[in-house]
Amino acid sequence: LLRRPGIWLVIAFALIFKLDVAALEPMMRPFWVDRGLSLEEIGGALTLARTLATVGGAVIGGVLTTRWGIRRALWALGAVQACSALGYWAAATFFAGQAAVFGAAIFENFAAGLATAAYLAYLMSLCERRFAATQFALLSALLAVTRSVAGAASGSLAEHLGYSTYFLITFLVGLPAFLLIPFLSRVARPPEPAAG
């Protein structure tokens, strides 16, 4: 896999495509609490709604990826994912009430589900059938690296910059991935060996 031409482009894309979500996630719960949501609301209605939104987004994202193709889906669904951070930015900037916070949270999960369907479909399209499980595990593990790096700095940045600026930054860090999408077609899965 690492000897494949252009694989470092894929690795860079895999690391940054969901960087915006990875940076956003650690500061969601503190933001909810600071905006007056009780632990019961967070653990009950909000958690259920977010789970349903994620599942719904993943299902719809899978359907759209099948219809549109992977590259078009990465563009469109990735753009929805990036814009989901703006919901939190608006709620923080305009001191919106709890309904707006709920809305931002649900939309973010729905958008993340949409984009994840396209993201995983792209990673799967790169895997050779003989090594599919190993290669997919390695590529998808890059998301854990992104989460670890983004999570390590999130609290300190949010404390120094404030929620509004921090959420705007999470939107901006999602944009560089779109610069790489036009070049992803250069990295193709090698031909499978003939059976038998």
What is the chain's length?
A: 196
Q: Which of 7, 36, 44, 15 is nearest to 140 (CA)?
A: 15
| Cα(86)–Cα(15) distance, integer angstroms | 21
User: So what's the pLDDT on residue 193?
Assistant: 53
Tens digit of each residue's pLDDT (9 = 90 or more) over 124-153: 888 888 888 888 888 878 777 777 777 777
Instruction: Please indicate whether residue 123 or residue 59 has the higher confidence score (pLDDT).
Output: 59
- Whether 187 and 70 have beta carbons less than 8 Å apart is answered as no
Q: H helices within 94-125, ranges in order?
A: 98-125
Query: What is the mean predicted confidence (pLDDT) over 81-87?
Result: 93
pLDDT classification of 111: cutoffs 50, 70, 90: very high
